[in-house]
Structure 1
């Protein structure tokens, strides 16, 4: 008769995400993870074989959530879709830190890890294509300046996500302020 796990896979990934964001990929290890979970460290291995498998699963779960929301957007109104897309990204703004460490993950030891990292890369490409399409549409509709190259608009949009919320306002309000600034500029 096997022992019941002291935590679920979801709880394990929640703690992993928090610890990777706090300590970075290099500072994260299974000993640290086990110190933040009930039960023995060996319980972790009932779910994942190693650090890279856990982190890649965590990354995949985070980007799946973003993908589901982004895929459901109504893109008929470019401005509204861009504003909603920024709000989606802002909800998971720390995810971009996690994604930045994907190149460190060793995929040669596990098919699951390789598949997770491949999924993350493909999802990131999908999101980039979606954003590019919406920015192009906004430029065609004269909502965004067409004299500014498309990669600049896309780059600035992505950089909005990492803008510090020095006012400590709710994410939805912060997202709207940043969007209005991006769309309208700082001119009076």
Structure 2
């Protein structure tokens, strides 16, 4: 009698995400995944048929959560919404690293292709939301109008990659970074 299934799909995707972030897409493989799960390697195939399908599902899951959180932001006050959006992005600060590997997935697997298409659509939704908030804040005179939006947006996105050298909670860290972004470091 073989080993019983002892992990859930959620656990499988959590471990997948962690291993992709640690090893990259190229270093991630099913043997590595099975070594980090408490159960038979064959159990993986009860959920997904191959590496590409697992990785695409993992990407879809991460961006779905970000979209859900971003969609729930009240956009009435653009600056407040931008600060909340920064926090949402910082909660998944490794998103770009994870999604950067999407282009490496070469597959004909229908499920993986559907998940990758969803990821692309979600990414487009998030870009539209961010651009809309920046335009709104600029129109309200809350952001400099002498700087092109791509400069403001690019700088905003760079905040996400700022190392948390103080090891404070993400909410506090994103708030500090937003304050420095909006006010600069000048006294």
- TM-score class, shorter-chain normalisation, is over 0.9
Q: CA RMSD in A?
A: 1.3
TM-score, normalization: structure 1?
0.95
**Where does residue 88 of structure 2 map in the other structure?**
88
**Where does residue 167 of structure 2 map in the other structure?**
168
**How many aligned residue pairs are there?**
186
**Where does residue 51 of structure 1 map in the other structure?**
51
The alpha-carbon deviation at position 116 of structure 1 amounts to: 0.6
11-20 or 151-160, larger mean C-alpha shift: 151-160
In the TM superposition, what whole-angstrom CA distance separates every residue of 1:107-142 from its partner, at most 9, and x where no partner exists?
Answer: 32x111001111111101110110011011111111
**Where does residue 184 of structure 1 map in the other structure?**
183
In the TM superposition, structure 1's runs of 4+ consecutive aligned residues that sit over 4 Å from their partners are none
Instruction: Return 5+ residue gaps in structure 1 as ranges.
Output: none
**Where does residue 69 of structure 2 map in the other structure?**
69
Instruction: Return 5+ residue gaps in structure 2 as ranges.
Output: none
**Where does residue 9 of structure 1 map in the other structure?**
9
Separation in structure 2 between the aligned mates of residue 163 and residue 169 of structure 1, nearest angstrom: 13
The alpha-carbon deviation at position 14 of structure 1 amounts to: 0.5
**Where does residue 102 of structure 1 map in the other structure?**
102
TM-score, normalization: structure 2?
0.96
**Where does residue 115 of structure 1 map in the other structure?**
114
**Where does residue 146 of structure 2 map in the other structure?**
147
In the TM superposition, what whole-angstrom CA distance separates every residue of 1:148-167 from its partner, at most 9, and x where no partner exists?
Answer: 00111111111111111111
